[in-house]
Amino acid sequence: MKYINAKLIFFFIFQMVFFITISYSQYNVRGKIVDSATGEPLSFANIKYNNKITTSNNNGIFHFLIDTKNLHLEISYIGYLKYVSDYNISTKEFNLGIIYLKEDAKTLSEITVTSGKYKKAIEDVTVSIETIKPSFLEKNNTLNFANLLEKIPGVNYIDGQANIRGGSGFSYGAGSRVLVLFDNIPALQFDSAYPNWSNIPVETIAKVEVMKGAGSALYGSAAMNGVINILSIYAKKKPYLKLKTFASIYDQPADPVKRWSDSLPYKYGFSAVYAKKIKKLDLVSSLYFKNEPRSYKKDCFGQIARATLKLDYHVSDALNIGLHTNLNTDKKITFFYWKNSTSGAYVGDSLAYSLQNKQVYIFDPHIYYFTKKGGKHIFQSRIYYVSNDVTDNKSNTSTSVYGEYQYQKQFSNIGLILTAGAVHNFALTEAELYGDTIFIAQNTGFYAQAEKKFWKKLNIVAGARYEINSVSGPKVIEGEDISNKYKKESKPIFRFGANYKLFPFTNIRASWGQGFRYPAIAEKFTNALSGNLLILPNPDLESETGYTAEIGIRQGYKILNFKGFADLSVFQSEYNNMIEFNLKYKGRLFFTAENIGNTIIKGSEFSTGFTGKIADIDIRAMGGYLYIDPKYKDFNDEVKRNLSVDYNILKYRYKHSFRFDTELKYKSFLLGFGSFYNSYMKAVDKILEQEIFIKGVKQYRKDHRYGTNVYRMRFGIEYKNMELLFNIDNLFNKEYSVRPGLLEAPRSFTLSLTYNLK
């Protein structure tokens, strides 16, 4: 027994000595990677050390263990020159200090995150991506994010809803096939699938990315037609302060008959942004106020006040926790349709006015954890409360809770990136708008995506998602028993894509992605009266499914002092059981959401952009042209009865659209010019042209059947930290409408003054 115990003791001592020796021979290496020009950290840089791989964390910091004194280090980051160096480790805790990476002047890369939930070069993605930088928003004096949408190639904006490549028509404020994200968290009001554009703090936007095509595999139901991802600024060591004040006046309508007042409508406001790193705390805050006491529409006004606060605390190099908040009030009077198309074009029908008083409170807690081996754990959540007090029994309150866990791992040595996660949405809605009752909606999703690079030229992406949706509510609506209408639905959806670098600046891509969209509560159960227009529920509304396929080529170029890109793609989208609002008459006039059948949208798109310099003049330009052919796959007599035309075309679409913007800057002076064009909207609801309740629609459409080209111009001057901008929107005072019964704003003049300390 003593012999056995002695052997055990000897073995234990040997093991202890062995592990102590092993641990003693390990060296802990750490460092930080920053931009050599700005000093800002470069997050998620690829780090190769002695044939092993890791990444820097969100603050550019990295650390790893090695068991030899000889270290061969390679650091790479998109758009920067590779860093390569050899070290002789001298201490157990070896600090490499700050490693500076220099920008690669020859690169044409732009970084994007939306296609795969991680940073990558835009030319390597497998779908079409459009990016908008903050200077474009600032120079175009974007006071509301919705004003930006009509300026983005491939995007149309119709009465509160965005659609990409004709994926949607006019949806009357409910149901969206375009998912809007703010800092990678869904920004749609869950019960209506509607973006409250006034919530979005345009004053803090750092970048906007638009992904065109089905994104449901990664982002879920509402991303069936694409994703608009709005990314905000982050705190830096140097304080950032931006103060802005602005004032606008509207010109009189070009047609004297449509002028309803001798005095000019106007609006004014201000914004303030402050950001700073305070030791371990990142602080970003903003205030925004806009008042429009006199709108260009008679008897209408609007007032928005908003405060945002982003707090991110770095507990350690590996752990970040944070809370982002957004508090918003929006009060306005507006009308749904005009009195008539002539003298009453900017005057609402007496029954069409409504007063809306909305409060929105958003809280986004989150946790990020980065492992030593390059793994990333993310938990992000959102509490979204909306109180919407509206006249004519259209009020509603909604509380939704969103939570997402995501894990991502980059295996740089084999060129593989894995992303997986789980999402849950819960919403409780109480609304007069939905029959003065309570509904509960839930959505659960599980997703995974793998991206692999082969031969340093070919990227392959494969993704899948399993989604579960359900709604519960009252058993009886308007005397009808609907207890059997609440169906829990689930469905798997898939995505595949490929991108091949044909030449150094030439990439070809192909993608195919499915979509699955469960109807929103507002689409199935809205029961309200707006003027003479009744909106009725449709508990029988079914989910829609579909796919988008695309082939494209992106060509980068650098000629003399100019660099830019040209992108050409052809695409096809098919939707089964497509959901759209139809205007119908059965003893009374009413709007209702219906499954209009199977549809197909074919098209092509060209977009381009460049920056450059001629002598002392900086030049920037961007633009794009979109063509679509939107049709019903099942075109029959019932469909014809609801169309204003007798041939096959989907309603509320523009077959041709064009966007363009350019800017010249000479020393402290700038001059900018832009335009957007939409062709004639050929098909609308037939009843609208019969003028049962909206007067003058048929004649107005007949007089304006050649499409609309609207121009804008801006002038600016910079002096030290100050910038004075003068913007003219609708330069030639064009009269136009994006949907029947409502005119857009006449020419406006905006003067803004910005103080920027950065």
Domain finish residue from 101, 119, 141: 101
Residues 23 and 68 in one domain: yes
Lookup: tokens for 273: 């942004």
Residue 17 is predicted with a pLDDT of: 44
Residues 401 and 493 in one domain: yes
In this predicted model, what pLDDT tens digit does every residue of 379-410 receive, in sequence order? Answer: 999 999 988 887 665 667 888 899 999 998 87
Q: What is the dihedral of CA 218, 222, 224, 227, to 10 degrees?
A: -70
Residues 88 and 235 in one domain: no
Grouping H, G, I as helix, E, B as strand and the rest as coil, residue 602 is strand
Domain finish residue from 83, 101, 119: 101
Residue 478 is predicted with a pLDDT of: 67
Residue 323 is predicted with a pLDDT of: 95
Residues 158 and 52 in one domain: no
- In whole angstroms, give the CA distance from residue 112 to residue 754: 28
- In whole angstroms, give the CA distance from residue 487 to residue 177: 21
Is residue 322 situated within a structural domain? yes
Residue 168 is predicted with a pLDDT of: 82
In 336-431, DSSP assigns E strands to 353-370, 375-390, 396-411, 416-431
Residues 93 and 166 in one domain: no
Is residue 232 within 8 A of residue 209, CB to CB? The reply is no
HEC string for 299-357: CCEEEEEEEEEEEEEECCCCEEEEEEEEEEEEEEEEECCECCCCCCCCCECCCCEEEEE
Is residue 106 situated within a structural domain? no
Residues 175 and 277 in one domain: yes
Is residue 603 situated within a structural domain? yes
- In whole angstroms, give the CA distance from residue 473 to residue 484: 11
Is residue 228 situated within a structural domain? yes
Residues 25 and 169 in one domain: no
Is residue 288 situated within a structural domain? yes
- In whole angstroms, give the CA distance from residue 357 to residue 191: 18
Residue 92 is predicted with a pLDDT of: 83
Sequence-separated (6 or more) residues with CB below 8 Å from residue 1: none
Is residue 532 situated within a structural domain? yes
- In whole angstroms, give the CA distance from residue 300 to residue 367: 43
Is residue 757 within 8 A of residue 728, CB to CB? The reply is no
Lookup: tokens for 237: 């060591």
Is residue 682 situated within a structural domain? yes
Is residue 624 within 8 A of residue 606, CB to CB? The reply is yes
Handedness of CA 432, 433, 437, 443 (dihedral sign): negative
Cα radius of gyration rounded to whole Å, the chain: 28
Q: What are phi and psi of 631, to 5 degrees?
A: -140, 160
Is residue 187 situated within a structural domain? yes
Tell me which residues of the chain have a pLDDT lower than 70. 1-25, 105-109, 116, 172-175, 391-395, 412, 431-436, 478, 529-533, 587, 758
Grouping H, G, I as helix, E, B as strand and the rest as coil, residue 485 is helix
Cα 58 to Cα 40, 220, 382, 411: the distances in Å are 11, 26, 21, 18
Sequence-separated (6 or more) residues with CB below 8 Å from residue 194: 160, 161, 173, 174, 175, 176, 188, 520, 522
Residues 30 and 158 in one domain: no
Scan for tokens 């908003």, then name that residue.
306
Bridge partners, 12 (sequence order): none
Question: Cα 64–66–69 angle (5° rounding)?
Answer: 125
In this predicted model, what pLDDT tens digit does every residue of 11-34 receive, in sequence order? Answer: 555 454 444 444 445 788 888 888
Domain finish residue from 68, 101, 134: 101
Q: What are phi and psi of 389, to 5 degrees?
A: -95, 110
Residues 346 and 488 in one domain: yes
Cα 362 to Cα 186, 189, 339: the distances in Å are 12, 11, 37
Lookup: tokens for 213: 């095509």
Residues 578 and 611 in one domain: yes
Residue 1 is predicted with a pLDDT of: 43
- In whole angstroms, give the CA distance from residue 527 to residue 477: 10
Q: In terms of Cα–Cα distance, which of 9, 54, 52, 4 is closest to 33?
A: 54
Sequence-separated (6 or more) residues with CB below 8 Å from residue 21: none
Residues 321 and 354 in one domain: yes
Residue 471: which domain range? 111-757
Residues 129 and 83 in one domain: no
CATH code of the domain covering residue 248:
2.40.170.20
Which residue type sits at 593? A
Cα 449 to Cα 402, 416, 658, 745: the distances in Å are 21, 11, 34, 44
CATH code of the domain covering residue 73:
2.60.40.10
Q: In terms of Cα–Cα distance, which of 394, 613, 343, 381 is closest to 525?
A: 394
Number of domains in the chain: 2
